[in-house]
C-alpha cells in the first residue's frame, strides 16, 4: 500500500490561512469518508484534529477544517497562530481491506 501524498512543507504568516493537500486513490482517500488528520509537535505523539473528512473532535479549535474532492483531501487552518507550527499527517482507511495508510507528512511553518 503506497503512502498518501502530501506536500513536504507549507508556510504562512500569523492570521493567514493555509491548506494542506493529501492525495490518494479510489481505494483509500476516494473510497469512503474515512480520512483523518493528525498534528504532531516535536517529540510528541500525534493528535487527531479532523476525522471522517470534516469532523472535529471535542476540544479542537474551529480554525481547523477538512474537506475532500475525489481522491484528494484537504486540511485548512485559518487564523494561523504560532502554536499551529507542527507536522501534519493525513490518514485513511483502505477500502476492501483491513488496512490503514498515512501520508508522508507536511511541516507547517508559521512565519
Partner 1 sequence: QVQLVQSGAEVKKPGASVKVSCKDSGYIFTGNYIHWVRQAPGQGLEWMGWINSNSGGTSYSPRFQGRVTMTMDTSISTAYMELSRLRSDDTAVYYCAMVLSGTYYFDYWGQGILVTVSS
- Contacts with partner 1, residue ranges (CB under 8 A): 1, 3, 32, 34, 36, 38, 45-48, 51-52, 57, 89, 91, 93, 98-105
For partner 1, the closer CB: 15 or 57:
57
Report DSSP state, residue 2.
P
| Burial annotation 67-97 (CB, 10 A radius, 16+ → b, else e) | ebeebbbbbebeebeeebbbbbbbbbbbeee
For partner 1, the closer CB: 13 or 43:
43
Residue 98 CB, shortest distance to partner 1, in Å, is: 4
Residue 104 CB, shortest distance to partner 1, in Å, is: 4
Residue 20 CB, shortest distance to partner 1, in Å, is: 13
For partner 1, the closer CB: 12 or 91:
91
For partner 1, the closer CB: 77 or 93:
93
Ranges of H-type helices in 11-101: none
What is the number of other CB atoms lying within 10 angstroms of the CB of residue 40? 15
Task: Tell me the CB-side half-sphere exposure of residue 27, using CA atoms within 13 A.
Answer: 11
What is the number of other CB atoms lying within 10 angstroms of the CB of residue 43? 5
Residue 34 CB, shortest distance to partner 1, in Å, is: 4
Amino acid at each position: 500500500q503506497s503512502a498518501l501524498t502530501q506536500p513536504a512543507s507549507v508556510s504562512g504568516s500569523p492570521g493567514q490561512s493555509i491548506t494542506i493537500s493529501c492525495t490518494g486513490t479510489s481505494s483509500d482517500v476516494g473510497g469512503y469518508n474515512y480520512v483523518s488528520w493528525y498534528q504532531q509537535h516535536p517529540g510528541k505523539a500525534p493528535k487527531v484534529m479532523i476525522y471522517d473528512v470534516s469532523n472535529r473532535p471535542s476540544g479542537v479549535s474551529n480554525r481547523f477544517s477538512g474537506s475532500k474532492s475525489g481522491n484528494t483531501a484537504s486540511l485548512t487552518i485559518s487564523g494561523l497562530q504560532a502554536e499551529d507550527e507542527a507536522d501534519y499527517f493525513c490518514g485513511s482507511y483502505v477500502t476492501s481491506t483491513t488496512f490503514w495508510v498515512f501520508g508522508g507528512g507536511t511541516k507547517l511553518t508559521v512565519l
